[in-house]
Amino acid sequence: MTQTTKVLPSRDDFIRLPAVEMATLVRQNISVNMLLRDRLKVTLMLGWPRTGINAVICYMLGVSFAGHEKTPPWVIALGAVLYFVWASILANLENHYADLQEDCHNVPGRVYLVAQVGYRNLFWYIVFLHVLLLLAAIPLGFPFFLFMLLALLVPHQYSFRPLRAKARPMWCPIIMAQLVVFPLVAGIIIGQPNVLNLVATSLPHLDFAWKRALGMIVFLNLWFFAKGMFKNVPDFAGDKTAGLYTSATICGSRRNAAIVTTIAEIFAYGSLAALVILGLEERHLLLALLWTVPILWNCLRLIQTEDLARNNHCCEFDSLSGAGFMASVLLLIFPTVANVVTVAVVIVIVFGSEYWRLDARGR
């Protein structure tokens, strides 16, 4: 296959190409005749909707912390949709666009989807989503709009320069953690439209409600930091070949990376108990830690298997079990009708994504 090739080969022939030829072919932006319905599905597969469910849960956690008696339901719902799109579709499309070279080693099947959509088209989809999210944030108030403007830097700087957190061992999981922290803060902004005045007057003497919210922000950073480390383990071989220094590749071997990740995950989940010990949350919140049983089992699977496909299945299980854990946290702290509906919507997204096979990683 040469650089002058203008026909996209079959998927099987494509993934057998050397990584360099594969990337070159994709960058040619070959025109592929697809029905609009099929193009939309492939784009959604690349957007991987299931990855945005934690953002929705944490957003509603923030709304609940703030109290939202005076906030119209449509405002809350629109904010949830925006941060769902931000954390899943936008973040994943940017990642696929920026990480083409590494993905040719790690997930060539996903690169084939990028080739079908068109590499240049993918760029314009990303631009369109930036504009759409900013425009849709305007009716939700100036503080929310400003925070969305800041939030757009999170997925961008994970994948692109100057920071390109993905290639920095410590910055990578820190930036990834903001995919749940930012939605929580956005939820607080939605629940308290005068949040800027409240912060200015409350900072000198934090009341109990602010301490609870800050405690949860610290926990979410620890929790998703470990999640970011887990995500890097299946990509160990490709990232190492591409010369990337991630939280996994600096461990020397994939097995060592899996062991370190397991320790980080158990510590991060266990840190939830600190919120109870400090008196910020009630004891029944500890029931959410029952999720650590299947999570630990999955971590042990990650340590034991070298197969990339099985590693990706471990990553998928970690994502779903993490969402189940976070949904439990939400309902144990704030068992409201709105939050029950939120969890129900999350479940629909998970099963809908599986039914329509909207998952580009293992396809």
- Would the pLDDT of 209 be above 50? yes
| Residue pointed to by tokens 């990706």 | 312
Give the pLDDT mean for 263-272.
Answer: 97
- How far apart (Å, rounded) are the C-alpha atoms in residues 23 and 177? 29
Cα 221 versus chain centre, distance: 13
- pLDDT of the residue at 29: 85
> Residue 126 is part of which domain span?
15-193+207-355
- Would the pLDDT of 360 be above 90? no
- Would the pLDDT of 205 be above 60? no
| First-last CA distance in the chain | 23
Count Cβ atoms below 10 Å from residue 128 Cβ, excluding itself. 11
- pLDDT of the residue at 1: 39
Tell me the per-residue pLDDT of 78-106, one tens digit each, with 9 for 90 and over.
Answer: 999 999 999 999 999 999 999 998 899 88
Q: What value does the mean pLDDT of the chain take?
A: 91
Q: Is residue 158 part of a domain?
A: yes
- Would the pLDDT of 2 be above 50? no
Q: Is residue 279 part of a domain?
A: yes
- Would the pLDDT of 361 be above 70? no
From residue 118, give the alpha-carbon distance in Å to each of 22, 39, 96, 177, 216.
13, 10, 12, 30, 40
H-state helical runs in the chain:
11-15, 19-27, 36-47, 53-66, 73-85, 91-98, 100-106, 108-117, 119-137, 142-151, 153-159, 171-191, 195-202, 208-232, 236-241, 254-270, 272-277, 292-304, 308-333, 337-355
- pLDDT of the residue at 174: 93
- How far apart (Å, rounded) are the C-alpha atoms in residues 88 and 78? 15
Number of domains within the chain: 1
* Full-model pTM: 0.93
Q: Is residue 10 part of a domain?
A: no
Tell me the per-residue pLDDT of 8-23, one tens digit each, with 9 for 90 and over.
Answer: 899 999 999 999 999 9
Residues shown for the chain: 363
Q: Is residue 4 part of a domain?
A: no
Q: Is residue 200 part of a domain?
A: no
Q: Is residue 304 part of a domain?
A: yes
- Describe the crossing of helices 337-355 and 308-333 by its angle, rounded to 10 degrees: 160
Give the pLDDT mean for 178-205.
Answer: 78
- How far apart (Å, rounded) are the C-alpha atoms in residues 98 and 170? 19
- pLDDT of the residue at 5: 41
- How far apart (Å, rounded) are the C-alpha atoms in residues 147 and 151? 6
H-state helical runs in 107-207:
108-117, 119-137, 142-151, 153-159, 171-191, 195-202
Q: Is residue 338 part of a domain?
A: yes
Q: Is residue 9 part of a domain?
A: no
- pLDDT of the residue at 260: 97
